[in-house]
Amino acid sequence: MSRTEKALSFFRNGYNCAQSVAAAFSDILTMDESALLSIATGFGAGFGRKQLTCGAVTGAIMVVSNHYFDHSAPTESKKRCYRIVREFHSRFTEKNGTDECIRLLGVDISSSEGYAFAETHALFSTRCEGFVADSVSILEEIIAENDAADGAKTP
């Protein structure tokens, strides 16, 4: 199963966008799938349904942080993480126009009416699944590029 398929399977089974993206990369991270699903929970729907930064974006940022942060060189690895996060963000926003959940969905899901509208119009499957897939795809490209530059091989 590809990472995109894995992320979409999580999403379709009730996990939020942040959880789905983060857990899809458990094979290359220092945290197991269960821990990733737990720690990413509050980031869904733009930070607890505040609809700020899309959860698919924050899930990807968690992956970058876990994959590239090195405790033996915190200053340098932090700089590297920031650079890679900026690159991810640039590619995601170029593709989708924004990283803001409310703008990506086009409806305020923090209200019961807005949430009902999103469900009735299948926005979570027609839009959010695309953002999850985009995040995974972009992140796989960026990890491959950065790991290749390091001479590392990522599964």
> In this predicted model, what pLDDT tens digit does every residue of 92-143 receive, in sequence order?
999 999 999 999 999 999 999 999 999 999 999 999 999 999 999 999 999 9
Domain span holding position 143: 3-150
Distance CA 154, CA 150 (A): 11
Does any domain span residue 135? Answer: yes
pLDDT digits (tens, 9 = 90+) for 21-75: 999 999 999 999 999 999 999 999 999 999 999 999 999 999 999 999 999 999 9
Does any domain span residue 114? Answer: yes
Does any domain span residue 66? Answer: yes
Does any domain span residue 101? Answer: yes
Does any domain span residue 103? Answer: yes
Q: Exposed (0-12), middle (13-18) or buried (19+): which is 121, by Cβ within 10 Å?
A: middle
Domain count, the chain: 1
Does any domain span residue 155? Answer: no
Does any domain span residue 130? Answer: yes
